[in-house]
Amino acid sequence: MRELQREIKDQYKVSPYLAIFLISSIQIGVGVLGFQSYIVGYLKNDSWMAVIIAGILISILIFIIYKILKYGNGDLIVIHYDTFGKWIGGFFSLIWIIYFIGISILVLRSFIQVVQVWMFPDLNVIYLSIVYCILVYYVITGGFRVVAGVSFLGMVIPSYLILTILYLLEYTDFRNLLPVWNHSVQDLLIATKQMTFSYIGFATLLMFYPYIKDPEKSKIWAHGGNVITVGLYLILIVISLAYFAADHLTKLYWPTLTMWKTIEMPFVERFEYVGISSWGLVILPNICLSYWAASRGARQLFRISQRKALIIILLITVGANYLLKTQKQVEQITTYYSQFSFYLLLVYLPLLLIIVYFRFKRRKKS
Confidence (pLDDT) at 97? 96
Q: What is the mean pLDDT of residues 334-351?
A: 90
Task: Give the chain's domains with CATH numbers.
Answer: 10-353 (1.20.1740.10)
Confidence (pLDDT) at 72? 87
Higher pLDDT, 350 or 167: 350
Confidence (pLDDT) at 3? 47
Give the CA dihedral 65, 71, 75, 78, nearest 10 degrees. -130
- Kindly tell me if the per-residue pLDDT of 317 is higher than 90: yes
Higher pLDDT, 270 or 285: 285
> Would you tell me the crossing angle of helices 86-118 and 271-302 to the nearest 10 degrees?
160
Q: What is the mean pLDDT of residues 286-310?
A: 94
- Kindly tell me if the per-residue pLDDT of 328 is higher than 90: no
Confidence (pLDDT) at 111? 93
Q: What are phi and psi of 4, to 5 degrees?
A: -80, -25
pLDDT digits (tens, 9 = 90+) for 118-170: 988 888 899 999 999 999 999 999 999 999 999 999 999 899 888 888 888 88
Q: What is the mean pLDDT of residues 319-334?
A: 88
Share of the chain above pLDDT 90, in %: 58
Largest CA distance in the chain: 72
Q: What is the mean pLDDT of residues 99-126?
A: 92
pLDDT digits (tens, 9 = 90+) for 68-91: 999 988 899 999 999 999 899 999
The span from the CA of 172 to the CA of 167, in Å, is: 10
Q: What is the mean pLDDT of residues 9-20?
A: 91
Task: Round the average pLDDT of the chain to a whole number and report it.
Answer: 90
Q: What is the mean pLDDT of residues 112-123?
A: 90
Confidence (pLDDT) at 29? 84
Q: pTM surpassing 0.85?
A: yes
Confidence (pLDDT) at 364? 65
Confidence (pLDDT) at 334? 85
Share of the chain above pLDDT 70, in %: 98
Confidence (pLDDT) at 106? 92
- Kindly tell me if the per-residue pLDDT of 326 is higher than 90: no
- Kindly tell me if the per-residue pLDDT of 355 is higher than 60: yes
